[in-house]
Amino acid sequence: APKVAAIGLAVRVAVEAMGLATDQWRQIVIFAALASIIFGAVAAIGQTNVKRLLAYSSINNVGFVLIGLAAGTQEGVAAVLFYLTVYVVMTLGSFIVVLQMKDSEGQPVETIA
């Protein structure tokens, strides 16, 4: 929820408050998007814990949301809102599945192995 609220606030400030200065903030958003995508993907490579893997995936997904913001148009905002809606549903589903995974002894499974 905090991440979705922060993205919503960022979209509103960027498009409504600084809409006329899109060219000035677009490069910063593109850099943040690429950094988030790369960091999330590289950090997830060595993970063996499923919950941490999902956490790095969420870092990666923020980068994809920022790509829509970097467009600086109403279509970009619509794409951000659609992506956030799908992201929230899929993340909730993923964490519910991970929390329901149990081994043969009834212990929670947290490792990929």
7 by Cβ neighbours in 10 Å (0-12 / 13-18 / 19+) ranks as buried
Q: What is the pLDDT of residue 73?
A: 85
| Whether the Cβ atoms of residue 14 and residue 64 lie closer than 8 Å to each other | no
Tokens of 27: 């490069």
| Whether the Cβ atoms of residue 106 and residue 91 lie closer than 8 Å to each other | no
pLDDT in tens, 85-105: 999 999 999 989 988 998 888
Contacts (Cβ under 8 Å, ≥6 apart) of 41: 56, 60
Separation between Cα atoms, residue 29 and residue 80, nearest integer Å: 13
pLDDT category of residue 110 using cuts at 50, 70 and 90: confident
pLDDT in tens, 41-93: 999 998 999 989 998 999 999 999 999 999 888 899 999 999 999 999 999 99
Q: What is the pLDDT of residue 3?
A: 82
E-assigned strand segments in 53-110: none
Each domain of the chain, given as residue ranges in start order, spans 2-100
**DSSP SS3 for 111:** strand
Q: What is the pLDDT of residue 24?
A: 85
Residue type, 17: A
Tokens of 89: 């549903």
